[in-house]
Chain A
């Protein structure tokens, strides 16, 4: 019973995540009400799933549509940009995208929830039908688009034009329902695609995700990355008893205990929830446990009896010649600085753009002049901010051991490198598109902490390392660096005040 509840809970979490992702990436509300599509610069970025860019709410483009757009353009025969984006998403997530981020996958999941008799996982002929998606991948979006050219050397998006049901569901029906001009253009192709959509909808009620299993070319590509993607399933051979409970729970009918990273696996997590011995884990789950234990739990390197002593007094190890203590106050001070500055940086990197994005759906069109490079810069600064925040927590729980200090410096160095890469990308984008210089320059002014203050923090941590090695450090220098760090940590607020005073 517990396992059943666990599977249901996992399914519910996934459904809510899919819905939230859909709202986030297709939230241009005005498109639905006016029968138009969003035309901001964010549409240069491919959304991970099969998300038609003619969906009125879509804020990004569809990878399949984008691929065919470039391949079908007379000037290009290969699409490095789109293949690069698909590869990057594939190697990071694999078919996790299918299970958690695809709107058409969500639609099929909802259809399968309808209670009818005669439900099965697979269609008849599943053993061979599952290779059909590779045939569709090669024939429709690649071969036909590349070879069937018109007199100008351009081609049509064959997969989108003749097969893709996502375009009908997300694009055609909402647009045609509201836009009378488009309604007048309805013809035979519209009804052909409607028939395909209805057929898949009916099949999805009786069989689990038939489009994903048998027809989706994007899933075919992502599936190839499953064995090497950053998110992978790992089987603990010692715990696994080969009971095949995972296969029974798996909607894609995969023998997970034998092939945990099968190209058919959509990483829904049902097998992990169902496994009676907890033998199935994900690589991200393992990483999360590691971060949790390093930042939030005691690492057990101090015996309980000594723990209270270590917290209240300066701890001196009993062996001779080993490190002297460092006051706990210094560690807490630096940790709090990291927390403050990392949080401010995170708010600037993430929350402000997200809030303005959400409000723009109701007020104004934004992103007309967004420098896409600055979006990537913001994403990397967000990652760096999170690392700094977690390092701050880790530092506060510091237990006066030199190895921990080295580890703190490693984490800060990683955050700094990530932030500098972000600066480089933003600068490249500003140089490439000088009109959008302000979208690079303004964040640089408001967010100096991440790339300017982190090295100073690292210097102070280094001073603490030297103290633990028995070398004395100048108190005056520590005070000066602390003041510099406080100013840098609060620099964003200071800049905002100065800018407001100036205006």
Chain B
């Protein structure tokens, strides 16, 4: 389905708004802490170590 050029702008804004809400919900849910904890220690699996 071809989306009209002018409608794409509104779709972009809508998706961005939903994404921001998801980020906020994730932060409230404590997901940001999980990401930070994982990212601040060396991921042995990521670098192929046992």
What is the count of residue pairs linking A and B with beta-carbon distances less than 8 angstroms?
166
Question: Which residue of the partner chain, among B3, B24, B48, contacts A227 with CB atoms under 8 Å?
Answer: B3
Rounded to whole angstroms, the CA-CA distance of A73 and B47 in the bound complex is 19
Q: Are A92 and B47 in contact (CB under 8 A)?
A: no
Q: Collect the chain B residues with CB atoms within 8 Å of residue A92's CB.
A: 16
Q: Are B46 and A189 in contact (CB under 8 A)?
A: no
Nearest-neighbor residue (CB-CB) of A84 within chain B = B22
Interface presence of A27 (CB below 8 A): no
Q: Collect the chain A residues with CB atoms within 8 Å of residue B24's CB.
A: 84
Rounded to whole angstroms, the CA-CA distance of A36 and B42 in the bound complex is 8
**Total residues of chain B contacting the partner, CB 8 A:** 38
With A37-B40, A227-B3 as known contacts, state yes or no: A80 contacts B26, CB within 8 Å: yes
Chain B proximity mask over A19-50: 1 for CB below 8 Å, otherwise 0: 00000000000000000111111011010000
Question: Which residue of the partner chain, among B18, B40, B47, contacts A171 with CB atoms under 8 Å?
Answer: B47
**Total residues of chain A contacting the partner, CB 8 A:** 63
* Interface set, chain B 1-39, CB cutoff 8 A to A: 3, 5, 8, 11-12, 15-16, 18-27, 29-36, 38-39
Interface presence of A66 (CB below 8 A): yes
Q: Are B36 and A43 in contact (CB under 8 A)?
A: yes
Question: Which residue of the partner chain, among A66, A82, A167, contacts B47 with CB atoms under 8 Å?
Answer: A167
Q: Are B15 and A91 in contact (CB under 8 A)?
A: yes
Interface presence of A65 (CB below 8 A): yes
| Interface-located stretch among A157-165, A316-324, A493-501 | A157-165
Q: Are B49 and A186 in contact (CB under 8 A)?
A: yes
Question: Which residue of the partner chain, among A41, A168, A228, contacts B11 with CB atoms under 8 Å?
Answer: A228
| Interface-located stretch among A97-105, A121-129, A190-198 | A190-198
Rounded to whole angstroms, the CA-CA distance of A250 and B4 in the bound complex is 25
A387 to chain B, nearest CB (A): 18
Q: Collect the chain B residues with CB atoms within 8 Å of residue A182's CB.
A: 42, 47, 49
Q: Are B31 and A168 in contact (CB under 8 A)?
A: no
Nearest-neighbor residue (CB-CB) of A89 within chain B = B19
With A160-B43, A171-B47, A227-B3 as known contacts, state yes or no: A61 contacts B35, CB within 8 Å: yes
Rounded to whole angstroms, the CA-CA distance of A171 and B22 in the bound complex is 29
A381 to chain B, nearest CB (A): 17
Rounded to whole angstroms, the CA-CA distance of A54 and B43 in the bound complex is 6
Rounded to whole angstroms, the CA-CA distance of A108 and B33 in the bound complex is 33
Q: Are B38 and A189 in contact (CB under 8 A)?
A: no
* Interface set, chain A 65-123, CB cutoff 8 A to B: 65-66, 69-70, 73, 75-76, 79-85, 87-88, 91-92
With A228-B3, A228-B8, A230-B12 as known contacts, state yes or no: A81 contacts B47, CB within 8 Å: no
A185 to chain B, nearest CB (A): 4
B17 to chain A, nearest CB (A): 10
Q: Are B39 and A81 in contact (CB under 8 A)?
A: no
Nearest-neighbor residue (CB-CB) of A85 within chain B = B23
Q: Are B38 and A81 in contact (CB under 8 A)?
A: no
* Interface set, chain A 137-175, CB cutoff 8 A to B: 156-157, 160-161, 164, 167-168, 171-172, 175
Q: Collect the chain B residues with CB atoms within 8 Å of residue A397's CB.
A: none
Q: Are B23 and A187 in contact (CB under 8 A)?
A: no
A462 to chain B, nearest CB (A): 28
Interface presence of A232 (CB below 8 A): yes
Q: Collect the chain B residues with CB atoms within 8 Å of residue A75's CB.
A: 30, 34
Q: List 27 A-B contacts (CB under 8 A).
A: A36-B42, A37-B40, A37-B41, A52-B46, A52-B47, A53-B39, A54-B43, A60-B39, A69-B34, A80-B29, A84-B18, A84-B26, A85-B23, A88-B19, A91-B16, A92-B16, A161-B48, A176-B49, A182-B49, A185-B50, A187-B48, A189-B49, A194-B48, A225-B15, A228-B3, A230-B12, A372-B32
Chain B residues in contact with chain A, CB under 8 A? Answer: 3, 5, 8, 11-12, 15-16, 18-27, 29-36, 38-50
Q: Given known contacts A171-B46, A175-B42, A432-B27, what 7 new A-B pairs fall within 8 Å (CB)?
A: A61-B39, A84-B23, A88-B16, A160-B46, A172-B48, A190-B48, A191-B48
